[in-house]
Amino acid sequence: MATPLRPTDPRVLGGYRLEAVLGEGGQGIVYLGEGPAGERVAIKWLRPELAADQEMVRRFLREVSAAKRVAPFCTAQVIDVGAEDARPYIVSEYIEGQSLAQAIPQTGPRTGNALHRLAIGTATALAAIHQAGIVHRDLKPPNVILGSDGPRVIDFGISKALGSHTALTSTMIGTPAYMAPEQLAGGPIGPAADLFAWAGTIAYAANGRAPFGNDTMPAVINRVLRMQPDLGDIPQPLRGILLDCLNKNPALRPTARQVIDRLLVSDPAAARPTVPQLPAQRRGFPTLAVVTGATALAVIAAIGGVWAATTNSEPPPVTRSSAPVVTPSPSPAPVVIDLDDTTAVARESPQDPAYLSIFWVKREKWDAYVREPGKTTFTRHSLADAAPSPTGDRLAGIPWQYDDDDSDTVKITQVSSGTSVTVKTVAKPLTTNYVHWSPDGTKVLLTSLKKTGDTTVTQGFVVVDPAAETAAVVAVPGLKGDTAFAWTGTGDSVTTVVTDDDGQAPHVYDLTGRELRTLPPIGGTLSDPRDMFSEGGGSFVARCQDKDVTFCVWDTATGAVLNEFESGCDTVLGWWDATHIFCTAVADDDEDAVVVTDLEGVETQTLIQATDAAMDKLYFRSSYLHRP
């Protein structure tokens, strides 16, 4: 529903006179406007933070301009694109009417000819979009408008244009209840994913519910990956068409044109499948592994790539075809982490250089959940701070209380057996924090701190030798505030970020506390030095000085800037490999993520997907990823 313009809204945008606000979301605000000839248009103006990356702006304008090639029937035609105040806008045809998501709850599910017309109209829109070389990526009931002249599909092309700048990679944009299995698994996305989403949307129109449900994310993902859809009483031939489109194997779904051909057949018996079908056999799948505890934490090991081996429960008659059956390679097996009242999903692949070995959950205190060796289950540890060794076999953790001698300690635990040793570190009133293992796993670095009232000031660092069960306390005078010490990527020097009147810069010390050198100044939010240095310490990454969204990579030895790039990252969490970092990022629809990005700012992989509420309860860092 349109609302009046607010005082902060412009009255003219790109030469279009604005009349009202149609809506506002994570991507931007949508206005009702009037064109030069008096035609009514919808104008989406992107948020400033999304438009801050100029390369993203150019990519966005290029991608959306391509959407202008889409034939206008059954879609909201893209009329114009441009930028105002360095923020891109999209002008499209204004379609007056309710979305499918609005109409079904009010007027009830569609049946008979009304459902058939909706299916043909939306499939025709997809055919036009695919003909223009575009994949929608986010087809769902809210993106189908019931106009006076028939259904129209909106927002096509925009997901791809925004994909590399949102928290979720372009492969993960969408609503889980309507996402294809390959999309959930972070695999390549093509037109077949749109057909899966189309079938879910038509099933929603027919039944008033999504075919895989719309409750918790783990439940929906499990159904999409492993279960057959609930299509209710949808009659043939539409039922068979939807089942084909909801095939777990994208190679076995029909194209939009093939769907249209089958919908136009008047004899249901003649509406045969137009793609080869897999043999009607089933593979046994393991029961989802659930680990429960006092905090009701469940870690579910779900099976990826199942669409390559499953069939529909009601396969229509098979026609012979000379086309080969294509079996996609197995996709990463997702690990689903279900918290008490929120959800996060972690995705892993055997090819990855690292995997999740520990995460933190905030309840009354921050609890550490440590991965059991060789498993996808996690054990809860109550520690003030902790980190696994590089090989994942030991856990170094700081207890919440001093020992009986008023000494702070660090506890080294063998993860598999649970046996441990405790090493004294500093005496009260000093305490320690910021556990960091040396790259070779022979030493543990802690930061010593002193709290006076509400102020905490770093005093120096502690080097712990777990094998000898000894600790060397090193004072570093002149530090201000609470700042962490970290290994520089080698086992013979440490660093901390020092803040003064000129800004903040990493300072490097030897293991006696002697300062060796000062590295170039960094900017933005204070980076955790444990996350800055590449393996071996040859380079480090942080926000560039005096820049809000630009990241710099420096040569540690010379201080030279090796690279600058824009990114959708909020906080760098560490190096994924020599040419990629991983970071937290914020997306639309109250979703956050941990993603991998290359050194040009292009997101290449989603590691963890979570709601805002879940991510507020989760904490990840580079040393929390074990490198096999």
Q: Which amino acid is at 13?
A: L
From CA 442, how far away is CA 186, in angstroms rounded?
Answer: 36
For 89-98, letters b (16+ CB in 10 Å) and e give bbbbbbbebe
Report how far residue 459's alpha carbon sits from residue 600's, in angstroms, rounded to the nearest whole number: 38
Nearest to 362 by CA among 378, 379, 382: 382
What number of residues does the chain have?
628
Nearest to 460 by CA among 477, 472, 444: 477
Is residue 569 within 8 A of residue 589, CB to CB? The reply is: no
Start-to-end CA span in the chain (Å): 54
**DSSP-derived secondary structure for 124-173:** HHHHHHHHTT---S---GGGEEEETTEEEE--TTHHHHHGGGSSS-GGG-
d(CA 446, CA 409): 10
Residue 589 bears catalytic tag:
no
Q: In which residue are the tokens 């590399």 written?
A: 164
Instruction: Report the alpha-carbon distance of residue 221 to residue 367 in Å, rounded.
Output: 26
Decide if 296 contacts 340 (C-beta within 8 A).
yes
Q: Would you say 112 and 119 are in contact if contact means Cβ atoms under 8 Å apart?
A: no
C-alpha pair distances (Å), 338 with each of 274, 383, 615 = 40, 21, 12
- d(CA 437, CA 386) in angstroms, rounded, equals 10
| Residue 475 neighbours by CB distance under 10 Å | 10
Rounded-to-integer distance, Cα 563 and Cα 551, Å: 8
Dihedral sign (CA 486, 489, 493, 497)? negative
100 phi and psi, to 5 degrees? -60, -35
Contact 385, 414 (CB under 8 A): no
Catalytic residue among 53, 138, 385, 588: 138
C-alpha neighbours within 13 Å on the C-beta side of residue 472: 12
Rounded distance between C-alpha atoms, residue 137 and residue 7, angstroms: 35
Distance separating alpha carbons of residues 156 and 145, to the nearest angstrom: 13
Q: Count CB neighbours of 103 within 10 A.
A: 17
Of the candidates 72, 123, 158, 118, which has an alpha carbon nearest to the alpha carbon of residue 255? Answer: 123
CB atoms within 10 A of CB 4: 8
User: What three-state secondary structure class fits 177?
Assistant: helix
Catalytic sites, residue numbers: 138
